[in-house]
Amino acid sequence: MGKIVLDARLAAVAAKVRPGVPVADIGCDHGKLSAFLAQSGKSPYVIAADLRPEPLSKAKDTVRRAGQANKVECRLGNGLSVISAGEVKDIVIAGMGGETIAEILEAAPWTKSEAYHFVFVPATGHPELRRWLYQNGYELCSETPISQGKYWYTIMEVRYTGVSLLQSELFYTLGLHAKGSGKATLGYLRKVYTKLKKELDGKKASGRYLELAEEEKLCEDVAKEVERCLE
């Protein structure tokens, strides 16, 4: 039996999964997270799902080599279509775009329940995901910034409240990192600012000055958050 060792990003995800409850790992890829959750004893039962046959085959092999085939069930399918309501309590979706995560939730209306605990790690589209969540009755419980190599990630813990809220554009852009502190938060804020500034400069270079007032204001607001975090 091989011991599963996770990288920094997946280790942070695993830390957010609640102990003792069944878990769905949607978009499981190589299956390391699923195998780890079972092998460590944190999760009694894991459903590892992926849309593509090749990654799911790798996940099955990872689970088998970890000696966890009796605790991890691998399923082929799109998003949460492979899960029935009540089968799991925690739902992990890591590595997909924020808009894709929103689409997965929208296609599974049974997730609109306080019974579920969600852990999301969007690869892109963070503002779009935060906006969709708050407009559809979900809320962020926590956001944890994690660096791995030159990349920065945010680990989102989410729950359903049934209350739709409008938030500011700055909140959709930074989430709970706004008003946060610490070295990791600073690193994440700088990443967001660098991305926004690059996009803004690119649009200015193309001559699109008249339609950029709101984007300039947002970039300035993020810069202020960076400065505040440096104090």
Q: What is the structure's pLDDT at 20? A: 97
Over the chain (231 residues), the average pLDDT of each successive run of 10 is 89 97 96 97 97 96 96 97 96 96 97 97 97 97 94 96 95 94 94 93 75 86 93 79
CB 219 within 8 A of CB 197: yes
Question: Which residues make beta-bridge pairs with 111?
Answer: none
Question: For position 208, what pLDDT does the model report?
Answer: 65
Structure confidence at residue 213 (pLDDT): 83
Candidates 3.40.50.150, 3.90.550.10, 3.40.50.300, 3.20.20.110; correct CATH number of 8-164?
Answer: 3.40.50.150
Backbone Cα Rg of the chain: 19
- Give 164-167 contacts, CB < 8 A, sequence gap 24+: 164/134, 164/135, 164/136, 164/137, 165/134, 165/135, 165/139, 166/134, 166/135, 167/130, 167/131, 167/134
- Check residue 1 and give its pLDDT: 59
- Given this model, what pLDDT does residue 34 score? 98
